[in-house]
Amino acid sequence: MLYQIFETQRSIMEPFSDLAQAAAKLYSNPLNPLSQTPLAQRASAGYALMHRLGKDYEKPEFGIKTVKVNETEVAIHERIEINKPFCELRRFKRFSDDPNTLTQLKGQPAVLIVAPLSGHYATLLRDTVRTMLQDHKVYITDWKNARLVPLSEGEFHLDDYVNYVQEFIRHLQSIYGHCHVVSVCQPTVPVLAAVSLMASRGEKTPLTMTMMGGPIDARKSPTSVNNLATNKSFEWFENNVIYRVPPTFPGAGRRVYPGFLQYTGFVAMNPDRHATSHYDYFKDLIKGDDASAEAHRKFYDEYNAVLDMDADYYLETIQTVFQDFKLVNGTWDVKGVDGKIERVRPQDIKRTALLTVEGELDDISGSGQTRAAQDLCSGVPASERQHMEVKGAGHYGIFSGRRWRDIVYPQVVKFIHGHAPKAGSAKATPVKAATVKAASVKAAPAKKTAKTAAKSAAKAAAKTATKATPVVKTKWVPTKSKA
């Protein structure tokens, strides 16, 4: 019922929001005599703010058209590689007509970025994608809004999330023979499960895993997000935050955790900060500070755009990650696409290097939650496991903004390129998805172009690390196995 009430309220507010936008333009139009009155700017700013507060926010676009690779502008073509019922595997294909740049692009490693399915769209990682495109072939999981998925597509469980990740990893391996995985926030848990299951079966696993700000062990330094999940019972969540999609959407009747509830939770964490931000936007409009006003609009176009999550996935995540702590307790069983139940054993991972990244001021995934992966992956040699704490960074700062670009990314690119396969090695040979086991991969003859590409990639990584700001606010801690 609450979902229907919200949609009714939104429908009623929509024409008023449009009128407010029209009034804002009317009072700011220099051809209109009203715009010359003393209070015109304030009236325009007030109507503009009213429009922003009342409008409906649709899914944003990534909008990445070009990136610079060694000072050369490279065109980006965005396309869907795999279309699943609840997710699209999206690729950012790079194009160049410069032979040297093209050779360099071909030699760079392939990276699968697993975006969070926790209320926001994958476009929240736009800055992450844009930065990584300088030195990598980039793919990302673009999760769909559950209210747009018809009931005929079935349910979506946490196990399905894990199976999707495994399928996407195999897809990249079938093309390039190898891949690297970067997970941000919520997906650190299912990604670790996916790689663990592949390792337990003897399949070929990614060369590296980079895990950033995720709740691997939510018992450590619990935040308000963790406390809510532990203080309320599973039944409370099922009875109070799960609703059916109204009949006006393709997914009518589907049980979901609505995006507007998640958005309310986001705002409730820092209400004063958001109120101040909107008031500053109002003042910027009055002053004519277009740059600051546009920055506000861009941020909230992204922040206010939320999606619904399938109820089964949401409830199972609450129970598995935040209540029963099944991953760290070693009690998590996952159902594969073949119906077989398998136990998640991170200690079985042996050939995938691990980098964990945490923000000192993270108020969503507290200190130590992501680092817990270091102890779980005891089968990975200590020399292949590293941890990074970013001083002064909050949750978003470790994957977006200045700290991400200047402090975190230089270390991430160094880590990934440091584990990139050498030309002519077994890891450099593309394999078919059906033969992904490490033992079945044979070395291919190295070609001159492959050698050139590898050298170019190495030079590019070194140049990126050299140009970056010195990591003076970062703890870089090699970890030791406790096994």
Do 178 and 327 lie in one domain? The reply is yes
Residue with tokens 């990604």: 191
Structure tokens at 244: 């059916």
Do 320 and 380 lie in one domain? The reply is yes
Do 326 and 179 lie in one domain? The reply is yes
Write down the pLDDT at residue 476: 46
- Report yes or no on 179 lying in a domain: yes
pLDDT at 474 over 80: no
**CB-CB contact of 376 with 214 (8 Å):** no
Do 374 and 275 lie in one domain? The reply is no
Write down the pLDDT at residue 227: 85
pLDDT at 219 over 90: yes
**CB-CB contact of 63 with 126 (8 Å):** yes
SS3 of the chain: helix, strand, coil, percent, to 5? 50, 15, 35
pLDDT at 270 over 50: yes
Residue finishing a domain among 285, 303, 321: 303
Report the alpha-carbon distance of residue 181 to residue 245 in Å, rounded: 33
Do 428 and 466 lie in one domain? The reply is yes
What does DSSP say about strands 208-212 and 353-359: parallel, antiparallel, or unpaired? parallel
Structure tokens at 365: 């995934």
pLDDT at 424 over 80: no
Write down the pLDDT at residue 451: 44
- Report yes or no on 249 lying in a domain: no
pLDDT band of residue 438 (cuts 50, 70, 90) is very low
What does DSSP say about strands 243-244 and 255-257: parallel, antiparallel, or unpaired? antiparallel
Domain count, the chain: 2
Do 281 and 395 lie in one domain? The reply is no
Q: Looking at residues 19-47, what average pLDDT do you find?
A: 90
The residue among 144, 182, 175, 443 whose CA lies nearest residue 307 is 144
Q: What element of type H or E holds 211?
A: strand 208-212
Kindly list the distances between the CA atom of residue 168 and the CA atoms of 61, 84, 89, 161, 365, in Å, as whole numbers in the listed order.
Answer: 22, 11, 7, 11, 26
- Report yes or no on 330 lying in a domain: yes
CATH number, domain of 364, equals: 3.40.50.1820
Write down the pLDDT at residue 34: 82
- Report yes or no on 252 lying in a domain: no
pLDDT at 50 over 60: yes
Mean pLDDT rounded to a whole number for the chain:
87
Q: Looking at residues 13-36, what average pLDDT do you find?
A: 90
Give the Cβ contact number of residue 308 at 10 Å: 27
Write down the pLDDT at residue 449: 43
Write down the pLDDT at residue 9: 87
Do 34 and 72 lie in one domain? The reply is no
End-to-end alpha carbon distance in the chain = 51
Structure tokens at 236: 């409370």
pLDDT at 46 over 90: yes
pLDDT at 475 over 80: no
What does DSSP say about strands 137-143 and 87-95: parallel, antiparallel, or unpaired? antiparallel
377-409 residue pLDDT tens:
999 999 999 999 999 999 999 999 999 999 999
Write down the pLDDT at residue 422: 66
Q: Looking at residues 92-121, what average pLDDT do you find?
A: 94
Report the alpha-carbon distance of residue 345 to residue 366 in Å, rounded: 24
Report the alpha-carbon distance of residue 237 to residue 442 in Å, rounded: 50
- Report yes or no on 74 lying in a domain: yes
Burial of residue 385 (CB within 10 Å: 0-12, 13-18, 19+) is: buried
**CB-CB contact of 146 with 256 (8 Å):** yes
Do 336 and 270 lie in one domain? The reply is no
316-338 residue pLDDT tens:
999 999 999 999 999 999 999 99
**CB-CB contact of 431 with 177 (8 Å):** yes
- Report yes or no on 292 lying in a domain: yes
pLDDT at 2 over 60: yes
Give the Cβ contact number of residue 28 at 10 Å: 19
pLDDT at 483 over 50: no
- Report yes or no on 247 lying in a domain: no
Q: Which amino acid is at 418?
A: G
pLDDT band of residue 224 (cuts 50, 70, 90) is confident
Q: Looking at residues 285-294, what average pLDDT do you find?
A: 93
**CB-CB contact of 172 with 411 (8 Å):** no
Write down the pLDDT at residue 290: 92
Of 7-21, 205-219, 469-483, least confident by mean pLDDT is 469-483
Write down the pLDDT at residue 77: 96
150-162 residue pLDDT tens:
999 999 999 999 9
Do 194 and 224 lie in one domain? The reply is yes
Q: Looking at residues 413-424, what average pLDDT do you find?
A: 83
Do 97 and 222 lie in one domain? The reply is yes
- Report yes or no on 250 lying in a domain: no
Domain extent at residue 219:
66-235+309-478
In order, the DSSP letters of 393-411 are --TGGGTSSHHIIIIIHHH
The residue among 316, 323, 327, 407 whose CA lies nearest residue 359 is 407
Do 272 and 219 lie in one domain? The reply is no
Residue finishing a domain among 303, 333, 358: 303
User: To 10 degrees, what angle do helices 2-28 and 40-54 make?
Assistant: 160
% pLDDT > 70, the chain: 87
Do 323 and 468 lie in one domain? The reply is yes
Q: What pTM was estimated for this model as a whole? A: 0.84
What region does 63 belong to: left with phi over 0, alpha with psi -120 to 50, or beta?
A: left
Q: Looking at residues 55-79, what average pLDDT do you find?
A: 93
Q: Looking at residues 266-279, what average pLDDT do you find?
A: 89
Structure tokens at 42: 């304030």
Residue finishing a domain among 303, 327, 360: 303
Write down the pLDDT at residue 230: 86
